[in-house]
């Protein structure tokens, strides 16, 4: 970002443009000025810009520019997820519940929140749900049919990784019961269409 662009961004941010305030916060964070980053994220949060809630919460989690405060981070994310209905914030809230960031760990609420995020169009959340049912994460029973359902939804929302998971599922990598030549061929072709190297197994 050159000096002219920075001056324009500062002008917009001072004019109470929520996105500009968030972008200015990201700029200051990138150059290591945590205090100014917190200042502009906070202004953007006051203007209810969803992504500013995520960034400001992250500052509280790590203690960058502010005193570390996980409950404050949870408060920010919970408010934004419930009031602004933003799928990215909802995904973060699911992670907070599962990891117990600023709250008691709650796997069920975490999964429910990931589902909410996916229903709002978040492909990452849908992919995480697919992985959860595929591997049996968090002591949730393995369910290959649900894993496939979530991976297919994730792929429909732009997740290329989901296509790779489906390729491996239908190749029988996780269980022979899911081996399916037609589906395997379909997902192999899809994967090859954008990145053949992703099909290499370790």
How do residues 3-14 score in pLDDT, each as one tens digit? 999 999 999 999
Q: Is 78 domain-assigned?
A: no
Q: Is 53 domain-assigned?
A: no
Share of the chain above pLDDT 70, in %: 96
Q: Can you tell me whether residue 33 is helix, strand or coil?
A: coil
Q: Is 84 domain-assigned?
A: no
Q: Is 113 domain-assigned?
A: no
Indicate if the alpha-carbon torsion angle 80, 81, 85, 89 is positive or negative: positive
Rounded Cα–Cα distance for residues 48 and 197 (Å): 41
| φ, ψ dihedrals at 138, nearest 5° | 60, 30
Q: Can you tell me whether residue 16 is helix, strand or coil?
A: coil
Rounded Cα–Cα distance for residues 25 and 41 (Å): 5
136-187 confidence digits (pLDDT tens): 999 999 999 999 999 999 999 999 999 999 999 999 999 999 999 999 999 9
- Give residues with Cβ within 8 angstroms of 170, minimum separation 6: 178, 179, 180, 181, 183, 184, 186, 187
- Specify the pLDDT at position 193: 87
User: In this model, does residue 202 exceed pLDDT 70?
Assistant: no
User: In this model, does residue 195 exceed pLDDT 80?
Assistant: no
Q: Identify the domain containing residue 170 by its residue range.
A: 121-202
DSSP 85-146: --HHHHHHHHHHHHHTSSS---HHHHHHHHHHHHHTT-HHHHHHHHHHHHHTGGGPPP-HHH
102: left (phi over 0), alpha (psi -120 to 50) or beta: left
Q: Which two tokens stand for residue 108?
A: 């069920």
Domains in the chain, number: 1
Q: Is 173 domain-assigned?
A: yes
Q: Is 129 domain-assigned?
A: yes
98-151 confidence digits (pLDDT tens): 999 999 999 999 999 999 999 999 999 999 999 999 999 999 999 999 999 999
- Give residues with Cβ within 8 angstroms of 150, minimum separation 6: 118, 126, 127, 129, 130, 133
Rounded Cα–Cα distance for residues 194 and 67 (Å): 44
Q: Is 153 domain-assigned?
A: yes
User: In this model, does residue 198 exceed pLDDT 80?
Assistant: no
Q: Is 159 domain-assigned?
A: yes
């Amino acid at each position: 970002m050159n000096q002219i662009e920075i001056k324009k961004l500062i002008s917009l941010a001072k004019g109470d443009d929520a996105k500009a305030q968030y972008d200015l916060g990201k700029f200051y964070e990138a150059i290591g000025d945590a205090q100014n980053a917190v200042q502009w994220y906070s202004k953007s949060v006051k203007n209810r810009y969803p992504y500013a809630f995520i960034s400001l919460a992250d500052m509280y989690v790590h203690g960058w520019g502010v005193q570390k405060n996980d409950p404050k981070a949870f408060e920010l994310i919970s408010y934004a997820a419930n009031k602004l209905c933003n799928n990215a914030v909802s995904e973060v809230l699911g992670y907070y519940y599962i990891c117990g960031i600023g709250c008691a760990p709650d796997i069920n609420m975490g999964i429910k929140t990931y589902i909410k995020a996916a229903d709002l169009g978040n492909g990452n959340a849908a992919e995480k749900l697919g992985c959860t049912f595929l591997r049996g994460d968090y002591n949730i029973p393995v369910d290959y049919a649900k894993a496939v359902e979530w991976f297919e939804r994730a792929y429909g929302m732009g997740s290329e990784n989901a296509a790779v998971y489906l390729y491996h599922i239908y190749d029988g990598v996780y269980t022979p019961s899911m081996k399916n030549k037609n589906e395997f061929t379909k997902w192999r072709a899809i994967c090859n269409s954008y990145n053949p190297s992703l099909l290499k197994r370790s």
